[in-house]
Structure 1
Amino acid sequence: MAIHDNILIKIRDMKDSLTPVERMVAEYIIANTEEIPHLSIKSLAQLSKTSDASVLRFCKTLGYNGYRSFIVSISASLGSMDDDHKNSYTDIQPGDDLNVIVANISHNNIKSIDDTLSIIDKNEIARAVKVLRGSTRIVFFGIGASGLVCMDAEQKFSRINKLCHAYTDGHSQLTAATLLGKGEVAFFVSNSGDTVEILETLEIAKKNGATCIALTKYNKSELADKSNIVLSISTPELTIRSGAMGSRIAMLTVIDILFAGVASAEYQNVKKYLSKTHNILASKHRK
């Protein structure tokens, strides 16, 4: 499994939120990945019809100090890539055989998790776990499919006796954010990072001094820009047909990681809660 940073996945996911000139550099790199490690900054600038300064700006946007470290990262990513089929998502096609659907959906979900592991910032995960451990209350905010992820998070963190709640509609989110304060966590789930209701709620939560955590796709967005901690997921560029399937599975995985991180760090304190909640559920099954 690719648990190292994969710059090619980062470029693919970031592409649509870049400036027009940076996007020209990104598109040339995506179309000509194999040759990039052999190009000088001047050559890449000429071939992408941009300038040396634009290529350097592009490298900085992706988090690199200079062109050299960027090229080293590209080479490493190329070495980790398998054949094209394994690295491409497959969309829903009309009249697909069920066996094909089973294989494709499973592949897409596995790839979404794998790609997310290669772009998510491990330091941000550590920061999020620390903040969640120290919080007096966690409030999860998400609309639609993201709301389902929030409900899953509420269910998990409730099991270790964390005071938490998920709000999945615009009005209740605004009300809940108004009652937040210092020492509490506002956890925002939004694939796009541009959902209006979420951004309005974020402004209120920030004003009230809550720590804001964002779970969103690897992209430039207002949500990522304004949150204290950003947990990025990688999502496939598919059409309207498949909805939020890939992003949902990646988001649920990040929630599981955070839950396990908090539960593991506080194991001596929370094992009694885990055991109690397990036993009560097990007793229901026996009836």
Structure 2
Amino acid sequence: MSLYDNVLIKIREMRESLTPVERMVGDYILENTEEIPHLSIKELAQASKTSDASVLRFCKTLGYSGYRNFIVSISAALGSRDDEMKVQYTDIRPGDELSTIIANISLNNRKSIDDTLSVIDREEIAKAVDILRECKRIAFFGVGASGLICMDGEQKFSRINKICHAYRDGHSQLTAATLLEEDDVAIFISNSGATIEILDALEIAKKNKATCIAITKYHKSALAERADIVLSISTPELTIRSGAMGSRIAMLTVIDILFAGVASAEYDSVKKYLTMTHNIVTKKLKY
């Protein structure tokens, strides 16, 4: 089990995409977490008003090979629960002092990163880095706030001389996806995983045999199911007041990880580009 693995966060994030029976198991676990490590699979099935088979399916849906591995993860999550309870997401509230806002936003951003580390698949990251190293070009697809993440990705990978571009509106995304080829990588960014423009472009990219990477919330979604590689984030958007703050910082972190992974693996060949781009900007700032 990963140092950062937290099954309780996984259950929280996956809840809405679980089957009704799986949700019954998940809800019981979240409401009675302390007692779960002491229950057999049959006892948990009885307590959640489901069946042994349903509990086992629930465990496998969350990525565990069996009930024993699941219980080990529950115990580990409980071990760090006291610290977790001290750091809760806080929404924008009327009349907060500026010092409170500074503290809350900082805590929210840190917890977004920590929760993302609990669900992201390290093997998928490794696959993504390998593909990005070998690809001919990179196309970023995102709408609205996700489009801003695309721009960040374009800026970073351009610095190491990767051919890449960010596409942020539906028409340009369709055009770009149509021109993708087998040696290209398309990175689709969507918190919900259900953005229509993104799914339309994804369908075209897959037909053209481009490798499709998804950066999306950890749950079952059309984007996650259809992408070749899925990099999951975890961060609840509390209300319309806080907008896409949490998902933005989590997605930017994933982009940073991918960029650093590629740059580190190819450092001998890309350090000259990093130096050149740094020097030209620094020189410009002197005038």
TM-score, normalised to structure 1, is 0.97
Paired with 1:61 and 1:55, the residues of 2 have a C-alpha distance of 10
Question: Any unmatched runs of 5+ in structure 1?
Answer: none
Paired with 2:4 and 2:242, the residues of 1 have a C-alpha distance of 28
Count of paired positions? 286
1:80 Cα deviation (Å)?
2.1
Paired with 1:180 and 1:279, the residues of 2 have a C-alpha distance of 33
Q: 1:113-152 residue pairs with structure 2 within 5 A?
A: 113-152=113-152
2:269 partner letter: N
Q: 1:133-282 residue pairs with structure 2 within 5 A?
A: 133-282=133-282
Q: 1:27-176 residue pairs with structure 2 within 5 A?
A: 27-83=27-83, 85-176=85-176
1:84 Cα deviation (Å)?
5.4
1:252 Cα deviation (Å)?
0.2
Paired with 2:188 and 2:61, the residues of 1 have a C-alpha distance of 24
Alignment RMSD (CA, Å): 1.2
Confirm or deny that 1:22 pairs with 2:22.
yes
Question: Any unmatched runs of 5+ in structure 2?
Answer: none
Paired with 2:171 and 2:161, the residues of 1 have a C-alpha distance of 26
Deviations for 1:28-50, whole angstroms, at most 9, x for unmatched residues? 11111111101111221122122
1:76 Cα deviation (Å)?
1.1
Paired with 2:44 and 2:237, the residues of 1 have a C-alpha distance of 25
1:88 Cα deviation (Å)?
2.1
The secondary structure found in structure 2 opposite 1:107 is: helix
Runs of 4+ in structure 1 displaced over 4 angstroms? none
> Conserved in 2, the CA contact under 8 Å of 1:81 and 1:87?
no
Paired with 2:46 and 2:241, the residues of 1 have a C-alpha distance of 38
1:81 Cα deviation (Å)?
2.3
The secondary structure found in structure 2 opposite 1:109 is: helix
Paired with 1:97 and 1:56, the residues of 2 have a C-alpha distance of 48
1:80 partner letter: S
Paired with 1:100 and 1:43, the residues of 2 have a C-alpha distance of 44
Paired with 1:21 and 1:88, the residues of 2 have a C-alpha distance of 28
The secondary structure found in structure 1 opposite 2:181 is: coil
> Conserved in 1, the CA contact under 8 Å of 2:237 and 2:246?
no
> Conserved in 1, the CA contact under 8 Å of 2:237 and 2:244?
no
Deviations for 1:99-136, whole angstroms, at most 9, x for unmatched residues? 11111111000000011112110000000000000000
The secondary structure found in structure 2 opposite 1:215 is: strand
1:175 Cα deviation (Å)?
0.4
Paired with 1:146 and 1:3, the residues of 2 have a C-alpha distance of 28
1:78 Cα deviation (Å)?
1.1
Paired with 1:67 and 1:121, the residues of 2 have a C-alpha distance of 20
Over the matched positions of the two proteins, sequence identity in percent amounts to 75
Paired with 2:249 and 2:283, the residues of 1 have a C-alpha distance of 30
Paired with 2:36 and 2:57, the residues of 1 have a C-alpha distance of 17
1:83 Cα deviation (Å)?
4.0
Paired with 2:273 and 2:106, the residues of 1 have a C-alpha distance of 33
Change (3 A) 1:271 1:83: closer
Paired with 1:227 and 1:158, the residues of 2 have a C-alpha distance of 24
1:91 partner letter: D
The secondary structure found in structure 2 opposite 1:232 is: strand
1:82 Cα deviation (Å)?
2.7
